[in-house]
Structure 1
């Protein structure tokens, strides 16, 4: 299948690494392509090596490949229009923050560190030609009830990961979102103070 590629390169205010400027979050995934296991493992390895406070590594992942019961379970925990497109991704990754250690000591930085791990995963995946889309519209309780999820883990996001698909397979509203110009507020609006 030939998938038309949109140029989604960000118009940055200063030069960035190409892998950062060209990274974007599509909704069109190729529902027929198999996952490249080596690239998936590289993305997960990048997450493993991301920084964390006191090296606590307070992230955990459920990696659900399309066609498995686990993928169906994670897909069923998606909410809203995420249910319309994300199940086509080769992999759905449920990401959890370990909010306390085994002795109950809190990890107040857990979600921050999980965010760094997912950022590293996203950049590595994109560098390898895979695409990632993170979703906050999830049923956290359903994800936390999946087998193997301990009580100190909090579901934070689900990540769709895989090969880019054809936007024509999406509904009209989602096609419009895919083609809409990329936008961010000006850099200065994100800086509270600077000296």
Structure 2
């Protein structure tokens, strides 16, 4: 299923095609494909090139780890994420390695790495769905994430459903709905906050 973005300006096709489904085919993802996603994340930009991101990964081929990560998700997310090929946790280092001072950009940089990962997934005909709905402390405990690091988001990666056989009607409706974004005049300002660029 494809849901290309409707944009008044030209976009790269990977950006136009990227979206976050809730209906996945319950299929495994080859290990080399997963490593390609993380390699894409590895090359994201970051403040002082600190690369403050890490990822915890659990695949369908690791049923115990997959079940543990799935259990960290909010219950509504568990309903659909159980069909993903892999579940991830993105994790941010809270301090700079270079001087041990707080890195206020680390969440931003983890987001950049995640965006790289999601676009690489799209290039490989996979889809990713980041989630805020997960138990931070439970994931910290289950996966031994140290206090120096903070779980940022959960991410489901997989093959978007084709026939919706494993998808509940309400989830199918979500996936078939229109994609919506705020217009640029609510997002881009000039001179002062809220001042819309002329001609927009």
- TM-score normalised over the length of structure 2: 0.89
**Aligned counterpart, 1:64:** 58
Whether the 8 Å contact between 1:167 and 1:178 is mirrored in structure 2 is no
Change (3 A) 1:51 1:169: same
Counting matched residue pairs gives 189
**2:142 aligned counterpart, secondary structure:** coil
Equivalent of 1:192 in 182, 185, 189: 189
Indicate yes or no: 2:165 matched with 1:171: no
Deviations 1:84-140 (A, max 9, x none): 110111100111111124674211100000000000000011101111010000101
Whether the 8 Å contact between 1:144 and 1:153 is mirrored in structure 2 is no
RMSD of equivalent CA atoms: 1.6
**1:108 aligned counterpart, secondary structure:** coil
**Aligned counterpart, 1:28:** 23
Deviations 1:28-58 (A, max 9, x none): 1111x22122221111000001000001111
Whether the 8 Å contact between 1:24 and 1:131 is mirrored in structure 2 is yes
**Aligned counterpart, 1:94:** 89
> How far apart in 2 are the matches of 1:48 and 1:60?
9
> How far apart in 2 are the matches of 1:96 and 1:21?
27
Structure 1 unaligned spans of 5+? none
Larger-gyration structure (1/2)? 2
Indicate yes or no: 2:46 matched with 1:52: yes
